Amino acid sequence: MAGSSSWSRALMQISPYTFASIGIAISIGVSVLGAAWGIYITGSSLIGAAIKAPRITSKNLISVIFCEAVAIYGVIVAIILQTKLESVPDSQIYAPESLRAGYAIFASGIIVGFANLVCGLCVGIIGSSCALSDAQNSTLFVKILVIEIFGSALGLFGVIVGIIMSSQATWPAKTA
């Protein structure tokens, strides 16, 4: 199975711990990237619009809270994933079940990281438009908030699938 093609041999010789650790790093790193992107887009528009309309600041911080929640989702999943990382004895490192667990943690990290990246970006751009239009006409705020809630649900989908994926990452038992 792994004997003929050199690529598949190379991939299967990579330790599952590598994949799992990269998954954990991506889940927190890329989530925080998305959250930071969203916060600086929203924050700069909010501060600029608040020059002429200071009343908008209290309500429009909701957009910043949505972006921060995206970062917290990444932290939650990273903590969950690192509790799933167990040591297995040397003989079992390349067993199929070990590889499966390693790939599951890797995939969970990628799912959560990239879902939160685009969610943070989406909420950031909507939040910036929300601040600018609220400064002009305060009846628009609630309508744009509905759009923002839909945008923030995207990150939630990624987190749910990532948690379900990581819950069945079981390493082989220690007794070889």
Partner 1 sequence: MRQPYFPLLLLNVSQSDQFLSRTFLSDTSILFHCSQIEAMAGVMQKFILASMIMWVAPMAILYGFNHHIIPGSGQLSSSSQTLLSGFLAVISVNLVIVFYIIMAMKEPANRESQPDPAFLAEAKASINQSATTTSNPDAQSRDKVE
Binding site for partner 1 (CB under 8 A): 50-51, 54-55, 57-59, 61-62, 64-66, 68-69, 72-73, 75-77, 79-80, 83-84, 138, 145, 156, 159-160, 163-164, 166-168, 170
Closer CB to partner 1, 1 or 146, in the complex:
146
Closer CB to partner 1, 13 or 65, in the complex:
65
Q: What is the DSSP string of 8-74?
A: HHHHHHS-HHHHHHHHHHHHHHHHHHHHHHHHHHHHHHHHHHTTT-GGGHHHHHHHHHHHHHHHHHH
Q: In whole angstroms, what is the distance from residue 150 CA to residue 142 CA? A: 13
Q: Nearest to residue 151, comparing CAs of 111, 118, 109?
A: 118
Cβ distance 73 to 31 under 8 Å?
yes
Question: Whole-number minimum distance, CB 136 to partner 1, in Å?
Answer: 15
Question: Whole-number minimum distance, CB 39 to partner 1, in Å?
Answer: 11
Question: Whole-number minimum distance, CB 91 to partner 1, in Å?
Answer: 22
Closer CB to partner 1, 4 or 83, in the complex:
83
Closer CB to partner 1, 99 or 156, in the complex:
156
Do you know the residue count of the chain?
176
Q: Is 64 left (phi over 0), alpha (psi -120 to 50) or beta?
A: alpha
Question: Whole-number minimum distance, CB 78 to partner 1, in Å?
Answer: 10
Question: Whole-number minimum distance, CB 96 to partner 1, in Å?
Answer: 18
Closer CB to partner 1, 30 or 71, in the complex:
71
